[in-house]
């Protein structure tokens, strides 16, 4: 693949813009995936094997990814929308190339896999792989998601039992239930859900006579939020981590 095509596929602009970056000396290419030495390349038509390629653009290292998979530690006060209404968009936390990766669909760049409310923090997945989004979002796959819930009133046994046996939400006659429910402390609940309805955790707690004061998603599937990933930071997800997330 030509180097300008590599950059274009990774969201660095039009083919002309990518060729300009290369010709002006802003791009270096690593000799191998393990090699720590990057060499200048000013030939936009230079050919490279894209899989496994590592390169540097304006001093920032990038891996070639046919599809991008990311984990973002969503901070409070952000919206999971390209066009936020009140709070900043979570997409402003990502570098420009991830937001402009070309797609066949009308929407460019990576997209959030589901949404978290503006005041909810924690794990948020993003990708430009539509099949992965469908697989992770489809209720028939029952991907477990773990939430750390701070509640207003001390939890009691009857509330815990109702969350596990099922509660009816106001817009759906079918009861929804938690896959697991653990009282970490009187005001801290660890709740595992395998479906994702609108404001589900808040509405479930309201249905049993309590109120959510804080909500944080700590785990999806078998993958936990890295402890060293601060709010607002993101990281790449690689095959071993993806295998922990979703069923085949």
Give me the phi and psi of 10, to 5 degrees please.
-100, 5
Residue 51: left (phi > 0), alpha (psi -120 to 50), or beta?
A: beta
- 156 catalytic? Reply is no
The active-site residue out of 117, 129, 157, 170 is 117
DSSP the chain: -BHHHHHHHTTS--HHHHHHHHHTT-EEEESSSS---EEE---TT-B---TT-EEEETTEEEE--SS-EEEEEEPSS-BSSSS-SSS-BGGGGS-HHHHS---SSSS-S-EESS---TT-EEEEEEES-HHHHHHHH-GGG---EEEEEEESS---HHHHHHHHH-EEETTEEEEE--SEEEEEETTEEEEEESS--TTHHHHHHHHTT--EEEEEEEEETTEEPPTT--TT-EEE--HHHHHHHS--
Catalytic residue numbers read 117
């Amino acid at each position: 693949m030509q180097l300008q095509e590599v950059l274009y596929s990774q969201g660095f602009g039009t083919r002309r813009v990518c060729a300009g970056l290369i010709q002006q000396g802003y791009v270096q290419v690593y000799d191998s995936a393990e090699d720590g030495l990057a060499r200048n390349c000013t030939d936009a038509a230079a050919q490279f094997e894209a899989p496994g390629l590592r390169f540097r653009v304006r001093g920032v290292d990038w891996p070639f990814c046919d599809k991008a998979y990311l984990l973002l530690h969503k901070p409070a006060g952000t919206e999971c929308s390209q066009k936020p209404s009140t709070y900043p968009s979570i997409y402003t936390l990502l570098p420009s190339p991830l937001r402009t990766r070309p797609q066949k669909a009308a929407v460019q760049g990576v997209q959030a896999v589901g949404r978290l409310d503006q005041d909810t923090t924690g794990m948020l997945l993003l990708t430009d792989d539509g099949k992965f989004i469908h697989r992770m979002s489809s209720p028939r796959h029952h991907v477990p998601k773990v939430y750390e819930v701070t509640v207003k009133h001390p939890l009691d046994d009857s509330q815990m039992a109702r969350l596990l046996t099922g509660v009816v939400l106001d817009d759906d006659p079918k009861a929804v239930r938690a896959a697991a429910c653990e009282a970490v402390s009187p005001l801290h609940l660890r709740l595992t859900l395998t479906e994702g309805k609108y404001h589900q955790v808040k509405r479930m707690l309201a249905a049993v006579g309590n109120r959510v004061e804080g909500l944080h998603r700590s785990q999806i599937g078998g993958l936990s939020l890295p402890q060293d990933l601060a709010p607002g930071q993101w990281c790449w997800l690689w095959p071993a981590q993806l295998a922990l997330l979703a069923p085949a």
